[in-house]
Chains A and B, each alone.
Chain A
Amino acid sequence: MLCHICGKRQATVHLTEIVNDQMTELHLCEQCAKEKGIAGLGASFGLQDLLAGLVDFASPIQGSKKKIGACANCKMTYADFRKIGRLGCSECYSAFEESLEPLLKKIHGAVRHIGKAPLHSGGQFKLKNELQALQLKLQKVVQAEAFEEAAKIRDKIKALEKKK
């Protein structure tokens, strides 16, 4: 088996990482393993370093053969990203969107942010998030047959929807 990083030398170091219950195997040659700091005691090698390996597994949406261009802002190419496992700037997320989506799904099991948003990103996002959270809560209280609570939440949702 050839090394997953250089693809040239024989892989002699074998690693298994479990992310979100999914097992990923990484096979490296000694030289690449050393560069990643795997060889030797006290080496630090974490999930993030395995990412370069993971990127290859989460291949872009099947059937799409479109070549991904470099990021216009920082000039990083997708090949660069695959090599170092880190993106170059915030614009890379748009440039590599198609390939990043399956990767994010693989890492997090989700592709939609829920949670805090900066105020300057506009109230719309916050509003949408709040609505989503309330709707989830509504489902839960209805299931628990807490109808008084459900009515309150429904009123809140109505009020928020008017703001939209």
Chain B
Amino acid sequence: MELNDLIKQPSGWLKQVGPNSEIVFSSRVRLARNLENVVFPDWADKKQMECALAMLKASVTQLNAIKNGGLFLDIQKMTNMDKQLLVERHLVSKEHIAQADNRAVAVSSDETLSIMLNEEDHLRIQMIEPGFDLDACWEKISRIDSEMEKKLSFAFSPKWGYLTACPTNTGTGMRASVMLHLPALVMTKQINKVIQAIIKLGLTVRGLFGEGTEAAGNFFQVSNQVSLGRSEEEIIDNIKRIIRQILDYEQNARKVLISQNRISLENQVWRAYGILKNARIISSSETIELLSNVCLGIEVGIIKGLTREIINELFILTQPAHLQKIEGKSLSARQRDIKRAQLIRSKIKK
């Protein structure tokens, strides 16, 4: 696979519809791993980084998922647009592409597995699955981790577990998260209460692109805060229990909206649909808000004949780097807004 092939296919974790996908877009588990006695990337000099990268690369490229049709990319050799493309597809963090020297990323052909090399930790392994399925993420990522551990000596202490650059990741080195779409809780103004409750229970709530990002399009990413003193399964069980409750709240809020204020909800959904179908110029932030409304419309049965797959695809394709890759050249903000409107119209034809 080549980098340019990415835009030809929807991300694997958005292509299929997973459990509870009416609310949960995706589940993700990431593991932080480091090489024993090798200086961590943020503290290493150029030579040490180079050395670590060579060791990591040898092992990462041996993984079946990478070897068979996957991608291995040297961040340094990439254009800014291509780097941004990886961020938009949730394959790398913004921090990873900010400092390009001796950093790399490996991606499986279906994009469910991605491995960042020399990020804050030597390895950041990530597994994304469609819908609400943290167990599948953990099972798969643990297998990858075990496979790599046969060739690499990971920094580990019996007392403190996996040793990471930041003490907030020490222990399991695991962050498990789910991407939730909660439009009804936002509309019924209950979202702040829910977020506060989640935080009180020891979890973190973030926006669409993780740390420090806004909750655009009614998307909320919920993840564990604690990584030491609990097993991976316990951490995942805890998140699952809390998420199940949030799913109930969102379902209830959707029911309330339909039964008590159907005409307003229909109005909002159809207006969003109308704009997306007819606009000639549209910004990315407006797009994401409107797609969110249309998505809700599909899930509660107001809009029929339009699939979630198309909406999921549009969430990804309407982002700036994607539009420019599709067009094959760099575009000004205004050109992008025009191109974006065109693309949406072509996908929502009816």
- Asked whether B225 lies within 8 Å of A115 as measured between CB atoms, the reply is no
Q: In the complex, are the beta carbons of B40 and A88 less than 8 A apart?
A: yes
Interface size class of B (residues with CB under 8 A): 35 or more
A109 touches B226 (CB 8 A): yes
A124: min CB distance to chain B, Å: 8
Name the interface residues of B37-63: CB closer than 8 Å to any CB of A: 37-40, 42-43
**A117 sits at the interface (CB 8 A):** yes
Task: Tell whether, in the assembled complex, residue A113 and residue B229 are in contact, meaning their CB atoms are under 8 Å apart.
Answer: yes
Contacts of B226 in A (CB 8 A): 20, 107-110
- Asked whether A100 and B167 contact (CB < 8 A) given A89-B37, A113-B228, the answer is yes
Q: Which residue of B lies closest to A76 (CB)?
A: B43
Contact A90-B37, Cβ < 8 Å, known A43-B212, A109-B229: yes
Q: Using Cβ atoms and an 8 Å threshold, which residues of chain B touch A100?
A: 167
User: Would you call B168 an interface residue if the criterion is a C-beta within 8 Å of the partner chain's C-beta atoms?
Assistant: yes
Complex interface: stretch among A1-9, A45-53, A138-146, A153-161: A45-53
With A116-B142, A116-B172: A90-B161 Cβ-Cβ less than 8 Å: no
Residue-by-residue, is B147-161 near A (CB-CB < 8 Å gives 1, otherwise 0)?
Answer: 001100111111111
Q: Is B237 an interface residue (CB 8 A)?
A: no
Task: Give the chain B neighbours of A45 by CB distance below 8 A.
Answer: 212
Known pairs A21-B202, A89-B37; A46 contacts B211 (CB<8 A):
yes
Inter-chain contact A104/B161, CB cutoff 8 Å:
no
Please tell me if B213 contacts chain A, counting CB pairs below 8 Å.
yes
Contact A86 B42, beta carbon cutoff 8 Å: yes
| Interchain CB contact (< 8 A) of B230 among A18, A114, A118 | A114
CB distance from A35 to the nearest CB of B (A): 15
- Flag whether A163 is at the interface (Cβ < 8 A): no
Q: Which of B35, B120, B163, B213 contacts A93 (CB 8 A)?
A: B163
A43→B212 CA distance, assembly (Å): 7
Taking CB atoms, residues of chain A closer than 8 Å to B165 are 86-87
> A51's contact among B155, B168, B202, by CB below 8 Å, is which?
B168
Task: Give every chain A residue within 8 A of B156 (Cβ-Cβ).
Answer: 117-118, 121
A112 close to chain B: CB less than 8 A: yes
A24, B53: Cα distance in complex, Å:
37
- B199 contacts which chain A residues (CB < 8 A)? 18
**Using a CB-CB cutoff of 8 Å, which residues 157-187 of chain B contact chain A?**
157-168, 170-172
Shortest distance between the CB of B323 and any CB in chain A (Å): 20
A93 touches B160 (CB 8 A): yes
B208-261, CB < 8 A from A = 211-214, 225-234
B155 touches A74 (CB 8 A): no
Whether A113 pairs with B158 at a CB distance below 8 angstroms is yes
Bound-complex Cα distance A47 to B205 (A): 11
Give Cα A93–Cα B153 distance, bound, in whole angstroms: 16
Whether B84 sits at the interface, judged by CB under 8 Å, is: no
- B281: min CB distance to chain A, Å: 22
Per the bound structure, the CA–CA distance linking A19 and B213 in Å amounts to: 19
* Chain B residue nearest in CB terms to A115: B231
Residue pair B155, A90 in contact (C-beta under 8 Å)? yes
Q: Report if A103 contacts B (CB, 8 A).
A: yes
Q: Establish whether residues A20 and B211, one from each chain, have CB atoms under 8 Å apart when the complex forms.
A: no
Q: CA–CA, A85 to B169, complex, Å?
A: 12
Can you give 7 contacting A-B residue pairs, CB < 8 Å? A48-B168, A87-B164, A110-B229, A111-B160, A112-B229, A113-B158, A113-B229
Q: A76-B43, A119-B149 are in contact. List 13 more A-B contacts (CB 8 A).
A: A21-B202, A47-B168, A87-B165, A89-B38, A93-B157, A100-B167, A108-B226, A112-B229, A114-B229, A115-B172, A116-B231, A125-B158, A128-B158
